[in-house]
Amino acid sequence: MALPPPPGYYVPAVLFFDSNEEFDVPAIQSHVLRLAQGGVTGILVQGSNGEAQHLSHDERKEAIRLTRKTLDDNGFNNVLVIAGTGAQSTRETKKLCVDAKEAGASHVLVLTPSTWPPQMSIDNIIRFHREVADASPLPYMIYNFPVVTAGIDLDSDTIATLAQHPNIVGTKLSCGQIGKLQRLASTFPSTEFAVFAGRSDFFYTSLLCDSAGLIGALVNVLPKVHNKLLKLHQEGNFKEAMALQAKLGHADWAMQKLGGISGVKAIVSKNFGYGVPNVRGPLKSLPIDSLVGNKYANTVEELIALEKSL
């Protein structure tokens, strides 16, 4: 029986490149280790922050393999590696799921294809995910993120229908719709179908609605702060947890305003001492010196001070 990833908080890790846009292996390893040391339950390789669409098939496999090996070599065998395996054809998506297993992932996370939105009817979306899940050698999760799928937004009925498939074990909701999350989380136990918030700005709210936790970009910067929030929830400390969630909400918004993936890399590089904010085109790199005096960077760095104290 296919099982979902355990409850907790996961990180769609950024991938560091050198000046030639090749893998910066030392920086990638430093990042993976800092996240593991920060207590993450697992690392999502090639989520939207991992620039999956900018990588060759061989690079995608290598990123998964490098992440798994770095964790294992440093005693973090219990930290999961989930692989983003979305592609624009059913055939390619199936291949990427096989590649993910060969490279050491435990689960796959799959976006809905979006090159031809008018043809992606609900029936066709269901057919796509079922067909790939049938072929996937790993437990399968649905990734709902309308921003990167031409506005395609799976509703709770569609996801609930897909959840009946024996190999479909969860979803990441980067749509940010708390009502959708609660409907799904109250329908399925997380031991059978895990419903994860996809953004830190509703992490605590999602926990109150019985989500399995979070898979969120801000964890790249603040793994220990997210761990603190999870523990406050587990202790029933509502007031302090809500206050910390408010700060995470501001920081999550600030990271979006800083420029997404390159902004995450720039903040990490400036504050934790590894990597540079290179991205592959057509994305634009954010110079580290542009963070000085930037109100959004200041918002994030207020929480980085807390991160470093934990």
Please report, in range form, the residues annotated as the binding site for pyruvate: 215
Pick the catalytic residue: 172, 180, 228, 265? 172
Any catalytic annotation for residue 143? yes
Contact predicate 78/119, CB 8 Å: no
Q: Where are the alpha helices (DSSP H) in 119-187?
A: 122-135, 156-162, 178-185
Residue numbers belonging to the annotated binding site: 215
- 154-172: string of b/e by CB count within 10 Å (b at 16+)? bebebbbbbbebebbbbbb
Q: Where are the alpha helices (DSSP H) in the chain?
A: 25-37, 57-73, 90-103, 122-135, 156-162, 178-185, 203-208, 223-234, 238-257, 260-272, 295-309
- Per-residue CA distances from 176 to 149, 161, 199 (Å): 15, 20, 7
Is the N-terminal amide bond of 117 cis, ω within 30° of 0?
no
Any catalytic annotation for residue 204? no
Pick the catalytic residue: 9, 10, 140, 143? 143
- Per-residue CA distances from 163 to 128, 160, 167, 262, 282 (Å): 14, 5, 8, 34, 35
CB atoms within 10 A of CB 241: 22
The alpha-carbon radius of gyration of the chain (Å, integer) is 18
Active site residues: 143, 172
